[in-house]
Structure 1
Amino acid sequence: MSFSGKTAIVTGAAGGMGLNIALDLADQGTHVVLIDIKPPSINLQEHKNKDLISFAQGDVTDSDFIKGVIEKAYVETSRLDYLVNAAGVLWFDKDRSTEEVDLDAWDRIMEINLKSMIITCRHALPYMRKTGSGSMVHIASVQAMRGDDKPQVAYQASKAGIISLSKTVALEGAKDNIRSNSILPGPTVSPMQERWAEDPKIQRLTESVIPLGRAGTTQDIANATLFLLSDKASYITGTELVVDGGLLSRP
């Protein structure tokens, strides 16, 4: 699973899953460009591999911004090997049931969670072709595969769209040895679930229905992501890896 000397773009990397994935790649010798609209939750200049890490602050739904970031990464390193789409939002206050969801929020959630993916993919593919290969991982959710009696309909629909788009990208990239896969996390301790910190009983209630008895961690997702990016997964494309402690296996 050698990542040394490779180049990666990771969106949604100011914290949570995206940051964990990005730092793990840097620890493996990858040049990593972190993208987020917010500043990083840690001081990247204090990281032991700071020379391999750069940060671009901006909106992932801005095509010109993303194009410029990816082009700069390629010019500076002469390659683009990996793309990880971890940007996403979950707005409990505005994203509710079909009859209650704020439709302006629906549009913005779709932009951030799904439109950003087609923007990053369309700008990354040409540089991966120049590199000679590439691997993409897109963070979806187990909620894409199930209904919910307390739904966030825009979030769930956007995550289902990620799975479908990933399959299309996989077919488009296959002839150039470019792979595309999705990861479907289950309930995971991350900044997106800050409500758990405010009310730990909610987390414990969630964990009570997970067969492995605990919520996931961002490290669990990072481990799965690095596997799918790596040559160990060279025959895996156009599919989904569920990382949910067995939640979807429940009847």
Structure 2
Amino acid sequence: MTGRLTGRTALVTGAAAGIGRAVADRFVAEGARVAYADRDTAGAQAAATAATARAVPMDVTDESAVVAGFAALAADGWVPDVVVVNAGVQLFGQDAEIADLDLDVWRRTHEVNLTGAFLSMKHAVRGMLTIGGGSIVLTGSPTAVRGEGRDFIAYASSKAGMHGLGRTVAAAYADRSIRVNTVVPPYTETGLVSTIATDPAARAAIVGRIPMGRPGTVADLEGVYVFLASDESTFATGGTFAVDGGMTTL
């Protein structure tokens, strides 16, 4: 690693596993102090083993928990200048086409994916305004930009909302040195999509729509998060960065 994030303080939501864990680990390796934020406190503690890492209990749907997490960091001089808004859910077996979608599934999905993004960004921005700026990176989805989510209406719409939220916040705070960008990963085999990964037909169908012919891995994604967190991307804001094997180009 090259120390590209030396001097940075980062908070990553959903950092106990999956993409969030990989990004948080890579940030540590690149020299940042990293807060592993997750409602799975034990998982965050197990992940945050480096000397420059700490676990932060945080349910992103609960504003009091988000406030407490950021306040605890600030009290120790850890106001994040990088925040990765990554926590999310996809309710397989419950999310559906709109005619078949239960309101409760819609609400639970949006509560985590969109309201959670709103609360994470709200308090990230408040902290960044006190330190002169920073970088917020959202984990988006191909379902937000094309019809990949037709069977997952709640998930796809929540991610589309996140994409729009990111662009709006980027425009609002560009003159105050706060940047907001969105990474679009492909189908990436983490615990979030274990239902698809263990179903050969479903897996083949989605992998068949990726021009590079394979699922993404967390290792494919880490680099763009580092870029967006670093000074290398100081003129990038409001952008959407697809790292999806060409999935959204078809």
Map 1:161-176 to 2 at 5 A. 161-176=161-176
Shift of 1:148: 4.3
TM-score (norm 1): 0.92
Report the secondary structure of 1:88's partner residue.
Answer: coil
Whether contact under 8 Å (1:179, 1:237) holds in the other structure is: yes
Identity fraction in percent: 32
Per-residue Cα deviation, 1:5-58 (whole angstroms, up to 9, x for no partner)? 21111111110000001111111121111111223278336x4xx221111223
Contact map agreement 2:210 2:247 (CA 8 A) in 1: yes
Unaligned 5+ runs, structure 2 = none
Are positions 1:199 and 2:199 aligned together?
yes
Q: Tell me the distance in 1 between the aligned counterparts of 2:45 and 2:137.
A: 23
Structure 1 residue 23 corresponds to structure 2 residue 25? yes
Structure 1 CA distance for aligned equivalents of residues 112 and 86 of structure 2: 10
Shift of 1:105: 1.2
Residue equivalent to 1:238: 238
Q: Is the 8 A contact 1:6 1:79 kept in 2?
A: no
Secondary structure at the aligned position of 1:95 is classed as coil
Seen in structure 2, the aligned counterparts of structure 1 residues 149 and 243 have a Cα distance that, compared at 3 Å, is: closer
Question: Partner amino acid for 2:17?
Answer: G
Gaps of 5+ in 1: none
Q: Which amino acid aligns with 2:47?
A: L
Contact 2:143 2:149 in 1 (8 A): no
Q: Aligned AA for 2:90? A: L
2:38 corresponds in structure 1 to 36
Paired residue secondary structure (1:213): coil
> The residue matched to 2:136 in structure 1 has which SS?
strand
CA distance in 1 between partners of 2:220 and 2:124 (Å): 26
| Cα shift at 1:149 | 7.6
* Counterpart secondary structure, 1:157: helix
2:80 match: 80
- Normalising to structure 2: TM-score of the pair? 0.92
User: Residue 56 of structure 1 aligns to a residue in which SS?
Assistant: strand
